[in-house]
Amino acid sequence: MKQFTQEILPAIPFILVFVSAMFNGMSDKIRHKYDKTYWSRVKSRKWQQWLNPQFSHVNKYWAAGRGWSKQITSLVIFLSKTLFVMFTDLWHLLKFIRISLLILAIMLGSEASDFIVYGATFWEAVQMFIVLSLCHFGGFELVYMGNNGIKK
């Protein structure tokens, strides 16, 4: 088993990057050519609210107008826009999968692969995945959510 792992391991990052690029293509097609996707043929209005980016962008704000306290509403909206955004629509779910595959490719294609294959516990690998995910999240949020020094 160890020899098989050593032989197949170098190919796994390339496969993960390839599949990640497929998810990137799917998300771009949904964003820019939605009417040419399989999902555009789904008739359910409820599903279109989750599938179609023309409508789904408002899903992050589902907590607004529910009569909750301002603090709870703000917290739920914040979590919907950050930590749980992958559940708000198909585009964000595909993006989450794409980024996760890239992080796994990094983990398996770098010095970390020795750590994972030769002795890391499952939880140590999960911790490494979380740390790399937080690095990506932090970099994204710094640019996307920040005002970048621009005053309105």
CB contact at 8 A, 132 and 125: no
Q: What is the pTM of this model?
A: 0.80
pLDDT per residue, tens digit, the chain (152 aa), is: 566 666 777 788 889 999 999 999 999 999 999 999 999 999 999 999 999 999 998 999 989 888 999 999 999 999 999 889 999 999 999 999 999 999 988 887 776 566 665 667 778 878 888 888 898 888 888 877 765 555 55
Backbone phi and psi for residue 121, each to the nearest 5 degrees, phi listed first = -75, 165
Burial 36-68 (b: 16+ CB within 10 A, else e): eeebeeeeeeeebebbbeeebeeebeebeeeee
